[in-house]
Structure 1
Amino acid sequence: MNALPGWLRRHVAALRALLVFTAVLGVLYPLAITAAAQVPGLKDHADGSHVSVDGRQVGSELIGQPFTGKDGNPLRQYFQGRPSAAGDGYDPTATSASNLGPEDIIDKGDEQSLLSMVCTRSKEIGELNGVDGSRPYCTKGGVGAVLSVQPGRVISVNEPCPAAAPFIAEYKGVKVECAPAGLDPRAGKIVPVRGSAPAEPAVPADAVTASGSGLDPHISVAYAELQARRVAEMRGVPVRTVRKLVGGATTGRALGFMGQPVVNVLQLNIALDKAAPYRG
């Protein structure tokens, strides 16, 4: 039999390689990884760390979720997680951060800057939990306290007209105006105003900023403590009972020294429903 032409031998060799690699990497390797994932200690994580209550899946230990009513407002009887920028919130198919940085301080129409977003969240969380939600560089109305200083004119760029009096009456002897329609703040010098808010706000940073993944299921111990009294009042139990449950849902530093202790919100809310059911 005559030898195959060189060009055909190359195609046959390529086909053999394709079949071998398909079998090894497309079949054998996934089966081996799947089998290894079923080893005790790994199985729960490999299967998605689902959390079930009375045989019904209620969430995941690794992915946060909202605890809101049909109107989208926070349910006061539950602990709330940190904000999420993943899709419409905690969407594992759209995991991402907001891509906004610390210099994003000017609102653009209906699109809030990172600063105004933080200010709005802090104000709302403060009102929800009965504490002062003010923070540096935020107006009392919950937007970024930023001025555009122009020759003979000063404008509060994040407070559109018509509005009540701007957050500050005057700046260096010039009356401050609200932002007119079509304002281009770049026409002046941008000046953030710190204001009189405390250096350590009552509302922690993780309560007003999203995580890098947008899926973080944890909150800081400080944010859990902020919410404890509100949750205790809604459930009609002593605040010490709620704080004890917070402790039970708290994980220490990774490897004993990395990061800070955190509280798993889903686990905490499940424990609450068992130990102190909401009667509302």
Structure 2
Amino acid sequence: MMDFSKIKVGNTYDRPQLAKLWGYQSHQAFSRGVFTPVNTNRIILFVTKEKPATSTQYNDYIIDHFLYWDGEEKGGNNNRIINAHQNGEEIHLFYRYRHHQPFIYMGIVQYIDHEPFSHKPFEFIFKILDSEHKDKTGAEEPQLPYTERNTEKRNLVLSRIGQGKFRMSLFDLWDGCAVTGIKIPEILRASHIKPWKSSTNYERLDPFNGLLLSPTIDLLFDHGFVSFKDDGAILLSKRIKEQSALLNITEGGTSLTKIYESNIPYLDYHRRQVFLK
């Protein structure tokens, strides 16, 4: 069993030290950015902000106690990282600003959200959980001179963090697709009932303005081909009624798995402003 009892949040460690503490003959066993030791429930991230010029220039950094991290090139551990919380696994973070510096142990981090890509690594956001020590580690990015690009990057990251929290809240509310009940996090979409572009900042993050949906239903709902009554029963646009059997959805037979009173004003907006009657 890998021993973390002698590893303290905020302290620095290099890989040879960790190899000795964990009982490995060499640190080569965890020379890469993601280490998943056998027979443990731990996923360990080794993250370097400034990479050597000869290395792949992944875009990894910490802002406001959130880690923004480009995943592995081949994504071998993507699903394990995404499902870590559901599977009872811990994600530990070792972080350093420059190559050749020792790593700062940041403690356990929580997966918040990711952006999937087919042509490049997934982009992940994690929350650093150890609030007692995270202000003392020195791993927060240094203050940079104001530039429009830096501000845009920061706003983008904070926006995605908000979206990640919204998605997590929908999992708490629905525990799966709000229509089919499917529980596959990788395919489920966090869909706004009142569209993002029409919502206030509060409404954009209000979990009751959201449905967790499988991809086909999400697209139908987003484009107004389906909507839902206040009791959760599905409404079909005339434009798809003839094909509803092919989609395996029927009026009178398909509905939301549950309904919350706070969903109702948003559903009313969707029926009036988005639904194609």
TM-based fold match above 0.5: no
TM-score normalised by structure 1 residue count: 0.20
TM-score computed with the length of structure 2 as normaliser = 0.20
Q: Which has the higher helix share?
A: 1
Which one has more relative contact order, counting CA pairs under 8 Å at least 6 apart? 1
Point out the structure with max Rg over C-alpha. 1
